[in-house]
Amino acid sequence: MEPLNVWDYERLAAERLSVGAHGYYAGGADDEVTLRDNVEAFRRWRLRPRMLVDVATCTTATTVLGHDVSMPLLVAPVAFQRVAHPDGEVAMALAAKAAGTIMCLSTLSTSTPAEIAATEAPRWFQLYVFRDEGMTRDLIAQARSGGFGALVLTIDAPTRGNRERDVRTAFAIPEDLRIAAFGRGGMTPQQVFDEVSPSLTWHDLERLCSESGLPLLVKGVLTAEDAKLACEHGAHGVVVSNHGGRQLDGVSATIDVLEEVVEAVDGRIEVLVDGGVRRGTDVVKALALGARAVLAGRAPLWGLAVDGEAGARRVLELLRREILSALQLVGCSSPADVTRDRVTRAPAAR
Ligand SMILES: Cc1cc2nc3c(=O)[nH]c(=O)nc-3n(C[C@H](O)[C@H](O)[C@H](O)COP(=O)(O)O)c2cc1C
């Protein structure tokens, strides 16, 4: 039977991928408490629909940092997509383009920024900052010349999370898959991980904002304190993210800290959130708690693993339809209509 939802794609992807590759994508850090909680936390929030609202003309379209998107869901940066499917990031970009949304390309991508630019997909570039300033500058130059609309600076990875699934399966990124932005025959993935700078601070943010000339979002904010610092240091947006539970285990589910960040930002910049999004109703809950949009990492990745571009496109289309239906059923005609009163915390389990 044709897969009906993200869960079906997740199951099929688990069948298609090798145990090692599946563990790489599905896994998280340490005991995977945060990985599981990202998904479970959405169930601790309940929708409060309003009835007898005319939703005959309902749209999922919105804007994010001034970019038009068909829905408040973007494709999160996920490394090494050719491990999931030979067409990798190019297929994901084409799927995002067909779905009318933005693809965020990882620094650790198996396609070059120029190859993604050639798809003409709406695109942002996720940036890791390296010890070697020249490497960082070169990446920013590739993002600029490739027409990427924003930089997404990931700040939750001064060191790599402890991913024990990969150790148990002895998984390693295949040697022939190089990080494309650094050129053929360049550094191995491990060498690149080791080059990510552990000394990045908020002051660097100001410099990156002014030097890059691109709008900059900070990805990995989990507290009001850091949300305020992001505003004060010139970020144009923040992404509430715990890296899909892959970095520091034991932090809160992102949906549970979203409101704290939204309140701290106080409308100065846009707030996005990622982690655990599997259903259109998850997206509507995030909108109600103040997010402009969500990013989805694993959901479209499972589609890519199952059926390349077509699979990723279908997952994005399923999610768009689910968002549309959730908006109508909750009594809203557009993402902008979703106000705080549309969610409440579920009663505590007894
Ligand atoms: C296999 C994998 C690789 C990832 N690679 C990156 C990356 O290179 N850069 C980054 O900022 N985030 C990366 N992330 C985190 C995602 O951007 C996003 O925060 C996370 O996947 C959201 O959770 P979800 O998968 O439950 O949607 C990765 C996530 C996964 C699952």
SS (H, E, C) the chain: CCCCCHHHHHHHHHHHCCHHHHHHHHCCCCCCHHHHHHHHHHHCEEECCCCCCCCCCCCCCEEECCEEECCCEEECCCCCHHHCCCCHHHHHHHHHHHHCCCEEECCCCCCCHHHHHHCCCCEEEEECCECCHHHHHHHHHHHHHCCCCCEEEECCCCCCCCCHHHHHCCCCCCCCCCCHHHCCCCCCHHHHHHHECCCCCHHHHHHHHHHHCCCEEEEEECCHHHHHHHHHCCCCEEEECCHHHCCCCCCCCHHHHHHHHHHHHCCCCEEEEECCCCCHHHHHHHHHCCCCEEEECHHHHHHHHHHHHHHHHHHHHHHHHHHHHHHHHHCCCCHHHCCHHHEEECCCCC
Determine the pLDDT at residue 53: 97
220 lines ligand 1 (CB under 6 A): no
Closest residue CA from atom 2 of ligand 1 = 78
Closest residue CA from atom 4 of ligand 1 = 78
For the whole model, what pTM was predicted?
0.98
- If one residue of 10, 17, 78 were mutated to test the ligand 1 pocket, choosing by the most ligand atoms within 8 A of its CB, it would be 78
CA dist 189 and 174 (Å) reads 9
Domain ranges within the chain, ordered by starting residue: 6-332
Q: How far is the CA of 25 from the centre of ligand 1 (A)?
A: 9
pLDDT tens for residues 161-220?
Answer: 999 999 999 999 888 888 888 886 667 777 888 899 999 999 999 899 888 999 999 999
Determine the pLDDT at residue 340: 98
Determine the pLDDT at residue 181: 87
Determine the pLDDT at residue 186: 64
| Cα-trace Rg, the chain | 19
Q: How far is the CA of 77 from the centre of ligand 1 (A)?
A: 6
244 lines ligand 1 (CB under 6 A): yes
Tokens of residue 261, six digits = 């960040």
Q: How far is the CA of 56 from the centre of ligand 1 (A)?
A: 36
108 lines ligand 1 (CB under 6 A): yes
- If one residue of 246, 283, 315 were mutated to test the ligand 1 pocket, choosing by the most ligand atoms within 8 A of its CB, it would be 246
Determine the pLDDT at residue 156: 97
Q: What atom in ligand 1 is closest to the CA of residue 242?
A: 19
CATH architecture of the region 6-332: Alpha-Beta Barrel (3.20)
CA dist 220 and 217 (Å) reads 10
Determine the pLDDT at residue 185: 63
Determine the pLDDT at residue 237: 98
Closest residue CA from atom 21 of ligand 1 = 297
124 lines ligand 1 (CB under 6 A): no
106 lines ligand 1 (CB under 6 A): yes
Q: How far is the CA of 345 from the centre of ligand 1 (A)?
A: 27
276 lines ligand 1 (CB under 6 A): yes
Tokens of residue 144, six digits = 């600029």
Q: How far is the CA of 289 from the centre of ligand 1 (A)?
A: 22
Determine the pLDDT at residue 184: 63
Each of the 350 residues of the chain gets a pLDDT tens digit; together they read 899 999 999 999 999 999 999 999 999 999 999 999 999 999 999 999 999 999 999 999 999 999 999 999 999 999 999 999 999 999 999 999 999 999 999 999 999 999 999 999 999 999 999 999 999 999 999 999 999 999 999 999 999 999 999 999 999 988 888 888 888 666 777 788 889 999 999 999 989 988 899 999 999 999 999 999 999 999 999 999 999 999 999 999 999 999 999 999 999 999 999 999 999 999 999 999 999 999 999 999 999 999 999 999 999 999 999 999 999 999 999 999 999 999 999 988 77
